[in-house]
Amino acid sequence: MEKAIQNKIDAIWLDFANGGMTDPLSVIKQMTYLLFIKGLDEVETNNEQTEQLLGVKFNRIFDEEHQDCRWSKFKNLSADAMFNLMTTKIFPFIKNLKAGKDSSFSKYMEKAMFMVPSALVLEKVVTKLDSIPMKDRDTKGDIYEYLLSKLATAGRNGQFRTPRHIIKMMVELIKPTPNDTICDPACGTGGFLLESSEYLRENYPDIFNSESAKYHFNNEMFYGFDTDDTMLSISAMNMIMHGIDNPNIEYKDSASGENTDTDKYSVILANPPFKGSIDETTISPSLSKICNTKKTELLFLALFLRSLKIGGRCACIVPDGVLFGSSNAHKSIRKEIVENNKLDAIISMPSGVFQPYAGVSTAVMIFTKTTTGGTNKVWFYDMTADGFTLDAKRIPIKENDIPDIIERYNNLSAEENRQRTDKSFFVTKEEILKNDYDLSINKYKEIVQEKIEYEDPKVILKQIMDMEEEFQKQLKELEELL
């Protein structure tokens, strides 16, 4: 992103702070709502221009009574007039917008609350937002990603932000195609869905030459669920700003009985909640049949299996305990994946990947739903570096296993003869079965013990005695000086 645009976003952030709004999540919500309003006017303007050129009629978002609610109209008002119009007419109109009710613009404005602290702050923010060119999709996306980075910088809501480079790695391993239907049942700010869309743009540039493929991309490809309304609105806006017209971002408790998705998606990418438990009465019975537990990290694995179509692929992040836990629930979900489906890979990640928010050790699990088995051998990789220091500062460094992981995974035939002392290697299903379906890399990796040669003890003793003699000599000299 251009430094000039970044400086304007920083200035807007400062305007909110000076007005008394210092909570980063609240600031992002208000900026999100204003960007929605600006976007509505851009859609209306584009439709008007298309009508003039092609004579095609569009349903109007702004009727005659609400033309003053358009960004292009109210942005030039005085501070007090703009603030009064926003509170009394614009926000109520947007919240109750009937036209285009199914669009993501209006869908996530329904619960919006206008909380900009003063008329002066609103005028400053609107003026600065208006001065930023946002017609380009990449620029919009960069702006919103920069806004979301403020959450991490402020140390807030880090649980919603899987590191971007880890998301990118997982997407490149799963390789989504234009025909896929992609879901993240714990979507947060939509990182996995967004990165999938960027992968498709880069690797399938012809996708937008077909009207059916374009429609699928904008309306039927991406699904994201969460139980936090703020995250849902941010996720929807994030995707819209990256050029996805109508993502299916919905409020849904994914592991509960309200979620009935079965055999629906061809790709699932997720970092589900760790170390939590769900009220037993709300758990979907179909998930309990797969894995009888209240632990969220195990229930989500069962959910992924149920939600995928036959042949569907999943790449998800799991805490290490999922890989070696000894409870019946832990063993049953691992057995289900290994015996009745196809476990493709386990990528062990260092514990510092989620710093500064958490130090938990995690792994990426990749599997394919078959319901008829297919696991013959599982590829393991021991990631020790991800391009950043593994402390709370997370400073970029040269050491980075991610390019090697992607290269090796794309050429698994060359992995056949790897030794257990290498970074990566195969483990047979039979060996995994013998180890009670333990999937932790430490169970199978071999450590080379280096033989250290020490000098003869007599030589070492002589060295110590010589050092002691020298010490006594220096001590004597010091005594004489005193």
- Residue 139: its pLDDT value, please? 60
Note whether 61 and 40 are within 8 A (CB): yes
Model confidence at 357, pLDDT cuts 50, 70, 90, reads: low
Q: Which fold has domain 158-443?
A: Rossmann fold (3.40.50)
How do residues 78-110 score in pLDDT, each as one tens digit? 999 999 999 999 988 887 764 455 666 566 667
- Residue 158: its pLDDT value, please? 42
Mean pLDDT of 212-233: 88
> Is the per-residue pLDDT at 403 higher than 60?
yes
Q: Which residues pair with 428 in a beta bridge?
A: 377
What is the share, in percent, of the chain residues with pLDDT greater than 90?
Answer: 46
Mean pLDDT of 274-280: 66
What is the CATH code of the structural domain delimited by 3-141? 1.20.1260
Question: Residue 436: which region, alpha, beta or left (left: phi > 0; alpha: psi -120 to 50)?
Answer: left
- Residue 161: its pLDDT value, please? 65
Mean pLDDT, all residues of the chain: 85
Q: Which residues pair with 427 in a beta bridge?
A: 378
- Residue 140: its pLDDT value, please? 63
Q: What are 200-204's contacts with CB under 8 Å, separation 24+?
A: 200/176, 204/177, 204/178
> Is the per-residue pLDDT at 220 higher than 80?
yes
Ranges 245-254, 284-293, 435-444, most confident = 435-444
As given in the structure block, the two tokens for residue 1 are 């992103």
Tell me the pairing of strands 342-349 and 265-270. unpaired
Output DSSP code: residue 254: T
> Is the per-residue pLDDT at 243 higher than 80?
no
Note whether 418 and 404 are within 8 A (CB): no
Angle 211-213-214 (CA atoms, 0-180°, nearest 5)? 60
Q: Which of 6-20, 308-322, 352-366, 430-444 has the lowest mean pLDDT?
A: 352-366
Model confidence at 160, pLDDT cuts 50, 70, 90, reads: very low
Model confidence at 277, pLDDT cuts 50, 70, 90, reads: low
How do residues 120-140 score in pLDDT, each as one tens digit? 999 999 999 888 876 665 566
- Residue 448: its pLDDT value, please? 66
Measuring CA to CA, how many Å separate 217 from each of 145, 242, 318? 21, 12, 28
What is the share, in percent, of the chain residues with pLDDT greater than 70?
Answer: 88
Measuring CA to CA, how many Å separate 121 from each of 125, 128, 146? 6, 11, 21
> Is the per-residue pLDDT at 451 higher than 70?
no
Among candidates 239, 202, 245, which has minimal Cα distance to 220?
A: 245
Note whether 241 and 234 are within 8 A (CB): no
- Residue 39: its pLDDT value, please? 79
Burial of 84 (0-12, 13-18, 19+ CB in 10 A): middle
How do residues 40-78 score in pLDDT, each as one tens digit? 888 788 888 888 887 777 777 788 889 999 999 999 999
Model confidence at 428, pLDDT cuts 50, 70, 90, reads: very high
Model confidence at 216, pLDDT cuts 50, 70, 90, reads: very high
Spatial separation of the C-alpha atoms in residues 168 and 187, rounded to whole Å: 15
Note whether 305 and 341 are within 8 A (CB): yes
Note whether 411 and 472 are within 8 A (CB): no
Q: Which of 179-183, 224-228, 262-266, 436-440 has the lowest mean pLDDT?
A: 224-228
Output DSSP code: residue 226: E
> Is the per-residue pLDDT at 197 higher than 90?
yes
Q: Which of 219-228, 263-272, 432-441 has the lowest mean pLDDT?
A: 219-228
Domain boundaries, the chain: 3-141, 158-443, 452-482
Model confidence at 422, pLDDT cuts 50, 70, 90, reads: very high
Among candidates 31, 233, 58, which has minimal Cα distance to 150?
A: 31
Cis status, amide bond into 133, omega within 30 of 0: no
Model confidence at 233, pLDDT cuts 50, 70, 90, reads: confident
How do residues 453-467 score in pLDDT, each as one tens digit? 667 787 778 778 878
**Block residue for tokens 């692929």:** 313
Spatial separation of the C-alpha atoms in residues 309 and 218, rounded to whole Å: 21
